[in-house]
Amino acid sequence: MPQLAVVLPASKAKAAKSPGCGVCLQCLNPRLRLECAERGRNKYTEEELLAKIAALGGGGASQQARRDKKQDFVSDIGAVIDDDGYFSSPSAVGPFMAAAAKHGAESGLRTFMIKEALAKIQPRVTAPFVEQGGLDLLADWMNDVREEDGPSASENLRKLLTVCKKLPVSEASLRASKVGKAVKKLTKVGDMSVQRQAKEVMKEWMRAITGKGTVTPPANAPSSPRPVSRPAAKPTEQRAAPPPKVAPPPKVAPPPKVA
């Protein structure tokens, strides 16, 4: 019996497969695999798909990269915070500035460094921090947090302003850095608590520059005696000389009695 050829309707006819790129099965990015499945296997050329994979990163590779970055951050910040959880060593300023340059662009890691390191900076670290560019770092982070306006923006800005109050500043250091302009912008933000704190920082800096702030002398400094103010002497009035005393008239002896 002759075999009959079965002709399928056009709607059910199978399209001839063109050679695919062969990347989909090796693609580790689930989003790209779903996109390819929805749009068709040959939607992208091999070059286009590889470019998209490189831009987005494969799922497994991306997770491993995130784990490596997290471990790297933990190692970097561990060199800054002491065993009690404070930013207490002047020698840790360099590692902190390096960690800030390396990880500060990522909002979550920056927030961690603000809360767990900067907010716990100790007095003996403040001067080295200013000397190694800390004021400019604060300015950059204030601008970044203000522009991102994330859920923890107000809290982070208040903590950064609190750090500003702890730092020893001079007119020269303020003029050489961007922090003055950054704080001035915060006096106009929507959060009233941030506004108020930024204005307080500006006032304290102005008092420090003009020398009107309260200066605490060192403990071993001799105390200078305070001059005692005496009331001004009243002008003496010239009194008229008293009249000369007149001598009483001499007593006259009574006449002798006649017998």
> Has residue 13 been placed in a domain?
no
> Has residue 186 been placed in a domain?
yes
Q: What pLDDT sits at residue 150?
A: 87
> Has residue 33 been placed in a domain?
no
Q: What pLDDT sits at residue 215?
A: 37
> Has residue 179 been placed in a domain?
yes
What's the token pair of residue 111? Answer: 């927030």
Phi and psi, residue 218, nearest 5° = -65, 160
Q: What's the distance, CA 185 to chain centroid? A: 13
Q: What pLDDT sits at residue 36?
A: 63
Count of domains for the chain: 1
Q: What pLDDT sits at residue 192?
A: 95
Residue range of the domain that includes 177: 84-210
Task: Give the Cβ contact number of residue 94 at 10 Å.
Answer: 13
> Has residue 160 been placed in a domain?
yes
CA angle 146, 181, 195 (to 5 degrees): 55
Q: What is the pLDDT along the chain (259 residues), one digit of tens a residue?
A: 444 343 344 444 444 444 445 555 555 556 666 666 665 555 556 666 666 656 655 555 567 777 788 889 999 999 999 999 999 999 999 999 999 999 999 999 999 999 999 999 999 999 999 999 999 999 999 999 999 988 999 999 999 999 999 999 999 999 999 999 999 999 999 899 999 999 999 999 998 888 764 433 333 333 334 444 555 555 555 666 666 666 666 666 665 655 4
CATH number of the CATH domain containing 137: 1.20.930.10
Question: Is-contact 104 113, C-beta < 8 A?
Answer: yes
> Has residue 110 been placed in a domain?
yes
> Has residue 132 been placed in a domain?
yes
> Has residue 70 been placed in a domain?
no
Q: What pLDDT sits at residue 241?
A: 65
Q: What pLDDT sits at residue 232?
A: 55
Q: What pLDDT sits at residue 109?
A: 93
* CA-closest candidate to residue 158, choices 129, 126, 199: 199
What's the token pair of residue 8? Answer: 């399928």
Q: What pLDDT sits at residue 68?
A: 80
81/100 Cα distance (integer angstroms): 13
Question: Is-contact 186 198, C-beta < 8 A?
Answer: yes
